[in-house]
Amino acid sequence: MMMIPPVPRPSHAAPSHVDSGMSLESSQGTRLVSELEDRLDRLAMLCCAMWTMIQAHSGATDEELMHLVRDLDLADGRVDGKAGQVQVTTCTACQRPVALKHLRCLYCGQTRVPAHPFEGVL
Ligand SMILES: [Zn+2]
């Protein structure tokens, strides 16, 4: 089974923009980074759980997974550790471009249903 090492993180002392002299904007930025780290940790845990389950049920190997990861990385023509460039669709209501990472049109608020479970994540 593939083991994913923990990601080193800077320690976050209890943020207080008043005590540290940090601006409110910086304090909000620190909070946002902390929330994103929490989401990343949860996604990493979900990926590990899914991979463990897939291996147990299918016999897939770490080498097969790494091969697929390399293929996904290379799909946009660049080996950069990213799945690809920002993908865009068209809003069904206002016909303006909407990044797939958004489930709601930023212009008119129209909601959209993802075509597949990982749309907007990759
Ligand atoms: Zn729209």
Residue 74 and residue 100 share a domain: no
pLDDT score at 51 = 96
Residue 28 and residue 73 share a domain: yes
Residue 90 and residue 113 share a domain: yes
User: What is the pLDDT of the chain when averaged over all its residues?
Assistant: 82
List pLDDT tens digits, range 62-103. 999 999 888 888 877 778 888 776 678 899 999 998 888 888
Centre of ligand 1 from the C-alpha of residue 111, in Å: 8
| Residue closest to 101 by CA, chosen among 90, 110, 114, 92 | 114
Distance CA 66, CA 47 (A): 14
Contact 51, 65 (CB under 8 A): yes
Centre of ligand 1 from the C-alpha of residue 117, in Å: 22
Q: Which residues surround ligand 1, an ion (CB under 5 A)?
A: 91, 93-94, 105, 107-108, 110
Total structural domains in the chain? 2
| Domain hosting residue 53, numbered range | 24-83
Centre of ligand 1 from the C-alpha of residue 95, in Å: 6
- Give the whole-number percent of the chain exceeding pLDDT 90: 44
Distance CA 61, CA 58 (A): 9
Residue 78 and residue 113 share a domain: no
Q: What is the pTM of this model?
A: 0.50
